[in-house]
Amino acid sequence: MVHNLSYTDDGKILIRMFKGKITFAEVMESWHDLIHSDKIGHRIMGILNDFTYAELLMDRHNLDQLMAFFMNHSEIFERIRLAVVMILPENIVLPS
């Protein structure tokens, strides 16, 4: 898995670009890292998760775990917007 972070020029949007095969455990590890390393400061208004060049390896049960994680960190995820970009049909069907 390749995982790159960047910010928009105004520093309000965090862009996470993923490449290669990505497991659910790796996705969760990246979210934990963002929180514990304080990369989602109060200035951040949104996070763009780009999976255009990635194959996401997870199943529908993982979505419950991901939602529970967001709920456990509601002080962060209630104030920001999340966007996900995917083009592989296998990646798109699961979240839908």
**Inter-residue contact 19 to 1 (CB < 8 Å):** yes
- pLDDT, residue 11, reads 94
- pLDDT, residue 90, reads 59
- pLDDT, residue 86, reads 86
Q: How confident is the model over 55-84, as a mean pLDDT?
A: 92
What's 59's DSSP letter? -
Q: Which of 46, 50, 49 is nearest to 79 (CA)?
A: 46
DSSP H stretches of helix in the chain: 24-36, 60-72, 74-77, 89-93
Asked if residue 70 has pLDDT above 70, the reply is yes
- pLDDT, residue 96, reads 42
- How confident is residue 56, by pLDDT bands cut at 50, 70 and 90? confident
Q: What residue ranges define each of the domains in the chain, with the CATH number in brackets? A: 2-93 (3.30.750.24)
For residues 39 and 59, what is the distance between their CA atoms, to the nearest angstrom?
A: 27
